[in-house]
Amino acid sequence: MEEKELLDQIAEKEWKMFRVVNGDKHTDCQEDESTFKAMRKAQFSAWSKEACESYLQDLEEAEAQGRNLIREKYIRMMESTQPEGYQAFCGELPQLTPEQEALTAELWQHFKAQTERMREKYPALALGGRPLMDSEETNGWASIETYQTGELKTYSERTLRALLAHMEALEKEGVDLAFQIQKNSVTCMGYQTMEQAEQEKIQKVKNKFIGKRSLFAQ
């Protein structure tokens, strides 16, 4: 299967799952198909073909079992951000194997180190307003750790192993997967470079701060 077709199939299956995360109740982002698919393709286009093919198989198997991997991701995130709500929905989740737990933990350590490296150069983009660690979460706002591990836990052992192999191969070449995904994402948003996206993000924060100051001055 060609890369474009592979990414299209993954994005389409995820979109169908995303649309029904809360049944018939839709938020604004659940009506924005083009943005959702573009951002998800930005992530998976940085993966190896082996990892993408494995994840597509995960999605196909989930469909056959009546499972919604996107819903499962958000439920897993609730364990950190909304513990009481998590108890109401965790019965829907399949039991993780010890191998899935171990691979998730190992992958997160790679993502954490890579995000920290990226934050040194692109602090505004690296976190996108989110705290890095779940210990830093406030008011139910999910951290990078919670979001990333929540998604990793929806992957099969096969996909986790393929993704880890890809990350380690890239690191040997001096390339960070987290950076590649972020770079693809800003390109999807119309930026020419990471530097351009970083500067615009910083300016938005400054403008917001200036607006607040003017209100206080009145």
Burial (CB count <10 Å: 0-12, 13-18, 19+), residue 127: middle
Report pLDDT for 130.
86
Which pLDDT does position 211 carry in this prediction?
Answer: 53
CA distances from residue 152 to 60, 69, 123, 165, 167 in whole angstroms, order as listed: 17, 10, 24, 14, 14
pLDDT computed for residue 155 by the predictor: 98
DSSP-derived secondary structure letter, 24: T
Q: What is the pLDDT of residue 58?
A: 98
pLDDT at 207: 78
Look at residue 128 in the predicted model and tell me its pLDDT: 77
Q: Could you state, in chain order, the average pLDDT of each consecutive group of 10 residues for the chain (218 residues)?
A: 96 97 78 94 98 98 98 96 94 97 98 95 84 88 95 98 98 97 94 93 76 46
Q: Whole-angstrom Cα distance, residue 212 to residue 218?
A: 10
Is the pTM value of this prediction over 0.85? Answer: yes
pLDDT of residue 15: 97
